[in-house]
Copies of this chain bind each other. A is one copy, B any other.
Amino acid sequence: MCQLLGMNCNVPTDIVFSFTGFAMRGGRTDTHQDGWGIAFFEGAGVRHFVDHQPAVDSPIADLIKKYPIKSKNVIAHIRKATQGEVNLENCHPFVRELWGKYWVFAHNGDLKEFHPQLDGAYRPVGTTDSERAFCYILQTLRRRFGDCCPGRDELRPVLAALVAEIAAHGTFNMMLSSGGELWAHCSTNLHYLVRQYPFETALLSDEDVKVDFSEVTTPNDRVAVIVTQPLTTNEQWTAFAQGELKLFIDGLPQG
């Protein structure tokens, strides 16, 4: 299995603190050492970093821990290979374009006998069940909505049916974003919290690091962090229900 980390905010925020703890699970506090990746939206653009080295040893992960890239939507992943070799093309998150937007996707889980018919619009480059699922999602959305990007209310039931269909093949914890929002689906294991005013000090569970967020935020900031296993020991994390698809906008879970 793998681990997922997502962040959705109302103002561009850096993920240095959360990523520092998360990256420790990529070979030190946990065994997810078959590569890692992270994607940051910045406007309509994406900064995309993938590496098949363990996150704890990666010079690129080291840069991410030190260089505060600010973003309203971030998806990160550390990999423990279940399907597909350990190589760069199998590292999550994956990025593709649909409706003139980049879409970013990462998956934790294992899909059995999942071989959807792909029409060629999106074809996997690597050999993971995850990238196959991502291609199938984008293909289905394009077929369903044609050339027009739907509103979120229109998108939600279609996406919910689609992820349920895929999740019937196995574990499908996943995150998906086209830059303005973050969708998270839980099969088995996903937690979130919302940090907002009054901000307090948070203690990482994977490394001896703490941050007093009141010193680095304004009262209007709001940040949702979504992760496989809670990252801090002194904050209240909420577990997703099995089969739940949650939409985060501006740091808040919707409805």
Q: Residues of A at under 8 Å CB distance from B?
A: 42-52, 59-60, 63, 67, 87-91, 95-97, 99-102, 120-126, 142, 146-147
Contact = CB atoms under 8 A, between A and B. Distances in A.
Given A43-B89, A45-B88, A88-B43, A120 B147 contact: yes
A124 B96 contact: no
B147 A125 contact: no
Contacts of A96: 97
B63 A125 contact: no
The listed residue with most B CB atoms (<10 A of its CB), out of A47, A52, A121, is A47
A91 to B, nearest CB: 7
A121 B123 contact: no
Contact of A123 (B46, B59, B99, B124): B99
Contacts of A99: 123
A97 B122 contact: yes
B100 A44 contact: no
Given A60-B63, A63-B63, A46 B88 contact: yes
B63 A126 contact: no
23 contacts: A42-B87, A42-B88, A44-B88, A44-B89, A44-B126, A45-B87, A45-B91, A46-B88, A47-B50, A47-B51, A47-B88, A48-B48, A49-B49, A59-B67, A60-B67, A96-B97, A97-B122, A97-B125, A100-B123, A100-B124, A100-B125, A120-B146, A120-B147
